[in-house]
Amino acid sequence: MSDGKVFSLQLTYNPTYKHRTLESAKLASVKHASLHRKKKPGFLQRFKMDNTPTPNVSPPYVEKLTDVARDIQYYAEVEIGSDNQRMLLDFDTGSSDLWVPDSTCMTRRVTFNRATSTTFKPMKGKFQITYGDGSTVTGILGQDRINIAGLVIENQSIGLATIESTTFNNDVVDGILGLAYNSICSTPGTLTPMDNLIKQKLIESPCFSVWLGRSTEGGGGEYRFGGYDPERFEGEITWVPVTVKRYWQVKCDGLFFGDVDLEHKSDVIIDTGTTLVVVPTPVAQSIHAQIPGAMYDETHGWIVPNTPEVAALRGVQLVLNGVKFDVVMKDIMRERVHGKSGYVYSGITSNDRIPIWILGDVFIKENYCIFDVGKHRVGIAKCKPPIRTQPSIIQHLKDEIENIQKRRTRECLIL
**What is the set of active-site residues?**
92, 271
Instruction: State the virtual CA torsion across 373, 376, 377, 383 in degrees, nearest 10.
Output: 10
| Sequence-ordered alpha helix ranges (H) in 200-349 | 281-288, 308-311, 329-332
How far apart, in Å, are the Cα atoms of 246 and each of 48, 205, 349?
23, 20, 23
Q: Which helix (H) or strand (E) holds 208?
A: strand 207-212
CA 362 – CA 329 distance, rounded (Å): 10
Do the bridges between strand 260-261 and strand 98-101 make them parallel or antiparallel, or are there none, so unpaired? unpaired
* Residue 218 · residue 67 · CB < 8 Å: yes
Contact 159, 127 (CB under 8 A): yes
> Omega of the bond prior to 391 within 30 degrees of 0, cis?
no
Angle ∠(348,351,356) on CA atoms, nearest 5: 90
If phi > 0 it is left, if psi is from -120 to 50 it is alpha, else beta; for residue 293 that is: left
> How many Å is the maximal CA-CA distance in the chain?
61
Secondary structure (H, E, C), 91-129? EECCCCCEEEEECCCCCCCCCECHHHCCCCEEEEEEEEE
Q: How far apart are the C-alpha atoms of 226 and 207, rounded to whole Å?
A: 5
Bridge-based pairing state of the strands 343-346 and 301-305: antiparallel
